[in-house]
Amino acid sequence: MFEYSHLFMLDPAKPALILAPMQGIIDAPMRALLSESGAFTFGVSEYIRVSVDPVPAKVFLRDVPELNTDSKTPNGMPVQVQLLGGEPNCVADAAKTACELGAQAIDLNFGCPAKTVNRREGGAILLKDPARIREIVKAVRESVPQPIPISVKLRLGWESVDEIHLNARMCVEAGASWLTIHARTKTQGYAPPAIWHKIAEVRREVKIPVVANGDIWTVDDFLRCRDVTGCDHFMIGRGALANPNLSVQIAKELGLPGREIDLNWLGLVNRLLQYGEMHGYRVTKGTVSHIKEWLRLASDRGMLTDFDEIKKATTIEELRYLLVR
Ligand SMILES: Cc1cc2nc3c(=O)[nH]c(=O)nc-3n(C[C@H](O)[C@H](O)[C@H](O)COP(=O)(O)O)c2cc1C
């Protein structure tokens, strides 16, 4: 097992590489697998939706089973709990519950573009309401013990990339410990390019660490992103899935530890399933489609051949068979 010696708190003076939250794909088994490299400083859980009803403990423990093991994956990577909601008191109560269950850091999602969450006033829609963002961050900050960091994940804006300035200021005023900025607006969805230079502007404006995120697929992308943003802290999502060793290559540039893992896709899939079993996850049709979504990303980036065949698999057995060929 790789030793993680980092403090959970993002240290402004030290570089960091963070594993992005990705609903339905980077779940606990995937966090366990991707943390085998030891290259991530920490990871962020998929968002937990907060509506008016309190979030039961069992939901936290189901979605973030790492809470049972000192908030760490089986490979020792710390995991931060992410919440998504629009009612300050409800989000604050959920944050308190998460901390009572052992969460050591809370992240607030103001970037999710999904219609279902935006209709219910959560995620990116709040980018249109900076005062509400401040209220939510403040309520959460006040509800959990001071040593527990509260971070915020933002997009640049709903429609305009300039919305980020006020929203970032609101988060800082409300006591956020750091900001992660996915360098796109909600309207942009996931369409390239990520507008990294806006991250640079915010980094110069605020006195807390800013984590740069969006479209880091290769080491070259990372180097350009670092150049443009001037950041020391980075988050990667799809790039880490497409190439499970990208984290190690970036960690090396940042002077962080990490060791390459064997990119045998059958072996990776088998280990992912083992981690799932360890967490008591059932293998369903959904599991097969999530794995295929992952393999599609790898194939799009030239890390895996034969996806045209693999995408036809409907069961884990077929998937394994096609990966062996
Ligand atoms: C399928 C999918 C699910 C995502 N789920 C979340 C989520 O639960 N919480 C969140 O803050 N961001 C979520 N994101 C956004 C990512 O964390 C990240 O900001 C985005 O993918 C850009 O980074 P990347 O180019 O490194 O992937 C999701 C993105 C995708 C594609």
The pLDDT tens digits of the residues spanning 4-13 come to 334 467 998 9
Contact 229, 212 (CB under 8 A): yes
Any idea which residue has 């996850």 for tokens?
Answer: 281
Q: Ligand 1 centre from 98 Cα, in Å?
A: 21
3-state secondary structure of 89: helix
What is d(CA 164, CA 239) in angstroms, rounded to the nearest whole number? 24
Pocket of ligand 1 (CB under 6 A): 20-23, 25, 46-47, 82, 109, 111-112, 153, 182, 190, 213-216, 236-239
What average pLDDT does range 221-234 have in this prediction? 98
Pick the catalytic residue: 90, 99, 112, 231?
112
CA distance 181 to 14: 18
Active site includes 112?
A: yes
Do 260 and 38 touch, CB atoms closer than 8 A? no
Which helix (H) or strand (E) segment holds residue 141: the answer is helix 130-143
- Whether the bond into 145 is cis, omega within 30 of 0: no
Rounded to 10 degrees, the C-alpha dihedral 204/206/211/212 comes to -40
Instruction: Read off the amino acid at residue 19.
Output: L
Pair 47, 84: CB distance under 8 Å:
yes
pLDDT tens figures, 92-127: 999 999 999 999 999 999 999 888 887 777 889 999
pTM equals: 0.96
pLDDT at 4: 36
Chain-wide mean pLDDT for the chain? 94
